[in-house]
Structure 1
Amino acid sequence: MDDIYSRAKEYAFKLLTFRPRTKKEIEDKLAGKNYPTEIIRQIVQMLENYNLVNDEEFAELWIRDRCKVRSYGRWRIKHELALKGIDRALIDEQVNRLISDEEEFEMARRLVEKKRKTGRLNKRKVYAFLRRRGFPKEIVNHLLAEYGWEEAENPCE
């Protein structure tokens, strides 16, 4: 049993050398290698005790990266974090703490400006692009109006 624990621990450490992981990611990876549930629980507990797995810190890093590097809106970030097994209450708390309404609006505006500079400012495409990036309809419609398109339920008109 000690040999299995050692191999599982080594595998978990290896996973953490590539990038930070959530508790669920570690659990899923270890379960995928068919390690016993009790060993997985012990490994995850040990990693949390040494602060090597911390969902709160992971969420903060993820949000900052997705805003700064990829310019994603709240909805997309929340969705990605939920897929990684982060608790919904923690997601909402971190997103609301780290992304203001004004910052989200400015991120969306910068993306529209970038599209405008490339000459690809088509109402339907801009609407779809911003929605895929996770921006709410209210922000998207406001920006469409700012660029001379009326707000519409159906942006394809």
Structure 2
Amino acid sequence: MKKPAASLSSTALRLLATREHSRLELRRKLAARADASDDVEAVLDRMAETGLQSDERFAESFVRSRASRFGAARIHRELGERGVDGETAASAMSEALQEDELMRARSVWQKKYGVLPQDHREWARQARFLQTRGFAVDIIRKLLKETLDESAQG
């Protein structure tokens, strides 16, 4: 049995109380419980009007939570998958990702490996790991080139 609009509002409030949600995420979760999509859109509009739901706030929160583990490319893609438009995503990322991308990549690499690649096979493995984390190829090359050069000298 599907829920009426008043119940959808309370469901939306409960979801938003646990964490920020994008409009698309909230729509998907409420649509499974609604009789009509008009009810869902009315609830979403009301939540946005009252400031309870905000894609900007969601994007800022999302970027802050992911910044220490992922690169800009992956964060941007995941925001898009959650229905955040490109302009909002770029704005949230420029504010939250003040730290240099190379420094963040180095931090992620250090936590996972911490040991310099000794050969090209290991270098490729570490590069693939960083690439799946969303770091740009030029950042990966710079980081692993530094480490490979340092190991060759030492």
TM class, shorter-chain normalised?
A: 0.7 to 0.9
Q: What is the distance in 2 between the residues matched to 1:4 and 1:137? A: 50
In 2 relative to 1, CA 4–34 (structure 1 residues): closer, same or farther, beyond 3 Å? closer
Give the aligned partner of residue 112 of structure 1: 109
Unpaired runs of 5+ in structure 2? 150-154
Letter in 1 for 2:111: K
Cα RMSD of the aligned pairs, angstroms, is 1.9
Query: Once the 2 structures are TM-superposed, how far is the Cα of residue 98 of structure 1 from its aligned partner?
Result: 2.6
Q: What is the distance in 2 between the residues matched to 1:65 and 1:116? A: 22
| Residues 8, 34 of structure 2: 8 Å contact kept | no
Give the aligned partner of residue 89 of structure 1: 87
Count of matched residue positions in the alignment of Structure 1 and Structure 2 = 143
The equivalences for 1:61-76 within 5 A come to 61-68=61-68, 71-76=69-74
The C-alpha deviation readout for 1:37-76, integer Å capped at 9, x for no partner, is 22111111111122110000110111111113xx210011
The equivalences for 1:1-157 within 5 A come to 4-68=4-68, 71-100=69-98, 103-117=100-114, 119=115, 121=117, 122-148=122-148
TM-score with structure 2 length normalisation? 0.83
User: Which shows bigger deviation, 50-59 or 8-17?
Assistant: 8-17
TM-score with structure 1 length normalisation? 0.82
Query: Once the 2 structures are TM-superposed, how far is the Cα of residue 116 of structure 1 from its aligned partner?
Result: 4.1
Query: Once the 2 structures are TM-superposed, how far is the Cα of residue 7 of structure 1 from its aligned partner?
Result: 1.4
Q: What is the percentage of aligned positions where both structures have the same residue?
A: 27
User: Which shows bigger deviation, 126-135 or 41-50?
Assistant: 41-50
Letter in 2 for 1:19: R
| Residues 20, 57 of structure 2: 8 Å contact kept | no
Unpaired runs of 5+ in structure 1? 150-157
Query: Once the 2 structures are TM-superposed, how far is the Cα of residue 114 of structure 1 from its aligned partner?
Result: 2.9
| Residues 59, 86 of structure 1: 8 Å contact kept | yes
Q: What is the distance in 1 between the residues matched to 2:111 and 2:5? A: 51
Letter in 1 for 2:72: R
- Any runs of at least 4 consecutive aligned residues in structure 1 with deviations exceeding 4 A, and if so which? none
The C-alpha deviation readout for 1:116-135, integer Å capped at 9, x for no partner, is 43x47421121011001100
